A and B are shown apart, each in its own frame.
Chain A
Amino acid sequence: MTANLKTGASLPRRTAARLVAGKGRYTDDIQVAGLLHVAFVRSSYPHARLKRIETRAAADMPGVVAVLTGNDLAKVCAPWQTQLALLPSHLSPPQMPMAQGEACWQGEAIVAVVATSRALAEDATESVEIEWEELPVVADVQAAALADAPVVHSAMTSNLGLDHTVSTGDAEAAFRQAAVTVEHTFSFDRQTGVTLEPRTILAEFDPRLQQLTIHHSHQVPHQMRDIFAAQLKLPLSNVRVVAPDVGGAFGLKLAAYPDEMAVATIAVLLERPVKFCADRLEAFVSDNHAREAKVHGRMAVDADGRLTAMDVSVVSGFGAYSAYPRGSVGEALQAVHMVAAPYKMAHLRGRVRGYFQNKPPSGVLRAVGQPIATTVTEQLLDLAARRLSLDPAELRRRNYVDTATATARSAGGIVLAELSLERCHDRLLQLMDYATLRQQQRMHRDKGIYRGIGLAAFIEQTAVGPTLYGAQNVRASAQETCRLTLEADGAIRCATSITDQGQGTSTALAQIVADALGVDIETVEIATGDTQLTPFGGGAWASRGTALGGEAALRAARKLKESVLGIAGALLQTEPDLLKIEDGRIYNTASPLPQMSLADIATTAYFKAHLVALTELPALEITESFAPRDLPYVAANGIQAAHVEVDVELGTIRVLDFWVVDDCGRVINPLLVDEQIRGGVVQGIGAALYEQCIYGADGQLENGSLVDYLVPMASEMPDIHVAHVQTPTSATTLGARGVGEAGTVGAAAAIWTAVNDALTPFGVVLSEQPFTPERVLDALAARKD
């Protein structure tokens, strides 16, 4: 092959040059003539009946065009209801763009004010009068579970939205026979995504053509097109959804949000362009939340340090409604099914219950439930290692699942194939110089410095296929498609169903296409994020962009190459097998001189086809789709390590260093992959140390601003060392696995094990995430008493 292959090279992203110049085009940057702005009146009560809404005074305010209630929007927009075919008891009441009759969380949209500027719309919201009747509030999951708990929504008969069990082998017997059993309780506070660009939507409706055009800060424009069309009763082909530059998404921008449905509805109702951009305060109470869970976990280990069984009980908080259309059960189910996935373990008993609460709906956040399962498993492993007086690294080394060749299932049913946990482990210990760190740890302890080393091996579900949502009857496509065209000027246009919020998947696709076709990467143009320009498919979710979108692109490129060489063979009167393409030129393998260019082929095929001596002209526009159908997903694996120091006087935790060895199969662009991992790690560190939505028992969010909700900032974060083991997956011809969530799957667990390792001399094991200074000091004080 040619020397200058792009696949595997650290090419910078092509959009980066535009973004560093401030030339991004995010949804709020788009100028539209006659644009109106929406501001919402939101419920200040977590649960209340709407007795009367008085909008007249607001309607008379300067600049106000309309003041609309849920009843007004119901004339145009049909209600929707989250339903999961395999979980019929996950009953979420029908939802409307704005509350009708009853508000079920603090922050739910009640009234929309439409005005000529956002400021004027906000002014007028203050003149809307609502008469409320407060209803009983269920905020805490444990309160929601009580037999006599009030219901979250009057249409519900119970707050229980999920009760699911797993049973593999005979956990009971394994615990009886275990040499060592350990147990611990874990609490994971509610978090939210805090994308720097808040949710934003711009909707335009052309009444003559009955066409709705939406610019949307979102990950899955094809899904949203389907939903807007269905709810507003428009033919699918009359709806176009464009996701321009998106300022961070992380799963938060996968859902159909009621207030965004309201904006699309208002555009249709008023026949005017309207925009809504959430401000930070309303983002905290209207973006989907995630992670809230209480877990009790037990682990059984034999005298040789072999993990035999786990018993896990999870209680998860859903919020007031199940997120549409994907539901809110993913976090809870993954929390149970993913436990011990990297380890040989025969017996598992698990139970997971999920409850509705008067809080914002919970939904997808990078790594969905996998961080919970990883944390529970890794922390229990460390506790077992202590009981056995075994080094934690050694205990892990004895237990990794070996699926180098065969496909196996973990006790939780996770499908594993072609893993490399042992190799990742060995590489990590070498990278971090584990033995030396342990030695230094002992020396530091003697001086009253408490450092901890934490490990977390992980499995990451990537490139998820249609069995996840397809089987639930949820219209979230898992298939990715590439439409590859030889343009009339000889350039290549690659229109892809995947979307790119900065991961760099567009660049990875260009690399794949350039190599497979043998063209200069500069001649490959990528079209993405616009339902009118791109073929139907999933978008960005479950770490799929390069793994699945790249596979579709590779397949299309190979076919297009065949077409090009077929035409070239006819023109050159040579067997196509004797021809090759390099740098966009066609060579006969026997000669170093180019015979013709791709532009020549295009010119001949498009304008002088009579010169091609073939009965059928091969297609120069190829569409290829791919979804894994034999496997539910492509599992990736890796291991992470954290080195931390705990100040036992102040309760503060400093992350000194962090390492990751990841196997995402074939690496297409290391520069992109490494930054996906680092970004994901920092989100995991944030979860373990800082991030929490603090709710009072009254259901009010007490820290709904960026001043009070702490996120990881540069000065507290460590450098993150990343290395790779590459085991290409045989599930695709490309061999790439996903990597978008890897960092987040394991990072919180590595912080848990590191901090608790540091606290070993005190006999303290923290159990509530995030590890705030107060919680650290409380735990130390409780121990001293």
Chain B
Amino acid sequence: MTDLHSIAFMLNGKSVTADVDARLHLADFLRHTLHLTGTHIGCEHGVCGACNVLVDGRSTRSCLMLAVQVDGAHVETIEGLTASGQIADLQAAFTARNALQCGYCTPGVLATAAELLTGNKPTRDEIRDALSGNYCRCTGYHAIVDAIETVAGKRHGGAP
């Protein structure tokens, strides 16, 4: 059953090498092999976005990507994004605005928001569109949109 491949990639700014089973997806590899449990699994078929991580700066479904495919890539998970401080403003805004309840969707939502906020200041509708691949059962989205809008405003130097 096992068909091992050697991979080398950057994970949260550090180089990692590993031998991985060909069928192992990135989400399981992160969670169960590397014990980075901040990446969550909600569907394993590419719809819910709970598993979103940044691969080469793009928010990516880690359940749809095989671990072997990250060979040579830069992967950032919620643990790395937190440690580097690059989304500290987003995290603070989510907390202050109560933009999460159970928190299960949150790391994936933050990966999406992190990518969105590297571009131009988005409108409320653009924030909603960017989030259309992140399912949240708890919040109803309004508070998430508010939190991202606040940070977008601050990063672009104006009022939210």
Which positions in A face B, CB cutoff 8 Å? 12-13, 15-17, 19-26, 28-29, 31, 62, 119-120, 123, 193-198, 245-250, 279-280, 501-504, 671-672, 675, 678-683, 705-707, 711-715, 717, 719-720, 743
Contact = CB atoms under 8 A, between A and B. Distances in A.
Contacts, number: 177
Given A17-B95, A123-B1, A196-B135, A719 B142 contact: yes
A38 to B, nearest CB: 15
A625 to B, nearest CB: 27
A196 B95 contact: no
Contacts of B39: 22
B138 A502 contact: yes
Interface in B64-86: 77-79, 82
Most interface-central of B102, B105, B110 (chain A CB within 10 A): B102
Contact of A679 (B79, B91, B138): B138
A16 B78 contact: no
A715 B132 contact: yes
Contacts of A717: 128, 140-142
Given A21-B38, A196-B137, A16 B44 contact: no
A248 B106 contact: no
A599 B103 CA distance: 35
23 contacts: A12-B96, A12-B98, A13-B95, A19-B106, A22-B37, A22-B38, A22-B79, A26-B104, A29-B31, A29-B37, A62-B1, A195-B137, A196-B135, A501-B102, A675-B98, A675-B101, A679-B101, A683-B137, A706-B43, A714-B141, A717-B140, A719-B124, A719-B145
Given A196-B50, A672-B98, A675-B98, A720 B103 contact: no
A477 B41 CA distance: 32
B40 interface: yes
A713 B105 CA distance: 12
Contact of B131 (A28, A678, A715): A715
A680 B138 CA distance: 8
Contacts of B140: 675, 678-683, 712, 717, 720, 743
Interface in B112-130: 124, 127-129
Most interface-central of B39, B96, B103, B128 (chain A CB within 10 A): B103
A280 B141 contact: no
A280 B138 contact: no
Contacts of B40: 26, 196-197, 247
Given A681-B140, A717-B128, 10 more contacts: A16-B95, A20-B91, A22-B37, A196-B42, A196-B138, A504-B101, A675-B101, A675-B140, A678-B140, A706-B135
B45 A16 contact: no
Interface string B138-160: 11111111000000000000000
Query: Interface residues of B toward A: which range?
Result: 35 or more
- Leading 9 A-B pairs by shortest Cβ distance: A22-B38, A502-B101, A19-B103, A247-B104, A22-B78, A682-B140, A714-B131, A502-B102, A29-B37
B142 to A, nearest CB: 5
Contact of B82 (A22, A25, A714): A22
Nearest to B50: A196
Nearest to B104: A247
A637 B94 CA distance: 29
Most interface-central of A194, A197, A707 (chain B CB within 10 A): A197
Contact of B102 (A12, A248, A671, A706): A248
Contacts of B100: 16, 19-20, 502
A543 to B, nearest CB: 15
B135 A21 contact: no
Nearest to A713: B132
Nearest to A680: B140
A720 B94 CA distance: 18
B103 A711 contact: no
Nearest to A61: B1
A470 B52 CA distance: 45
A327 B117 CA distance: 48
B48 interface: yes
A280 B102 CA distance: 18
A503 B95 CA distance: 13
Contacts of B107: 22
Given A120-B1, A197-B104, A280-B42, A248 B131 contact: no
A14 to B, nearest CB: 9
B72 to A, nearest CB: 24
B14 interface: no
A654 to B, nearest CB: 12
A783 B139 CA distance: 38
B43 A31 contact: no
Nearest to B83: A21
Contacts of A13: 95, 98
Nearest to A17: B95
B59 interface: no
B54 to A, nearest CB: 13
B26 interface: no
A31 B31 CA distance: 11
Nearest to B82: A21
Given A26-B104, A248-B137, A16 B1 contact: no
A679 B106 contact: no
Contacts of B35: 31
Contacts of A15: 103
Contacts of A504: 98, 101
A192 B77 CA distance: 30
B91 A21 contact: yes
B160 to A, nearest CB: 14
Nearest to B131: A714
B62 to A, nearest CB: 13
A246 B102 contact: yes
B10 interface: no
Contacts of B94: 16, 20
B7 interface: no
A678 B139 contact: yes
A36 to B, nearest CB: 14
Contacts of A279: 44
Contacts of A198: 42
Contacts of B101: 248, 501-504, 675, 679
B136 interface: yes
A714 B106 contact: no
B47 interface: yes
Contact of A196 (B77, B104, B110, B127): B104
Contact of A707 (B47, B77, B129): B47
B60 interface: no
A23 B102 contact: no
Most interface-central of B36, B40, B48, B140 (chain A CB within 10 A): B140
Contact of A22 (B77, B98, B138): B77
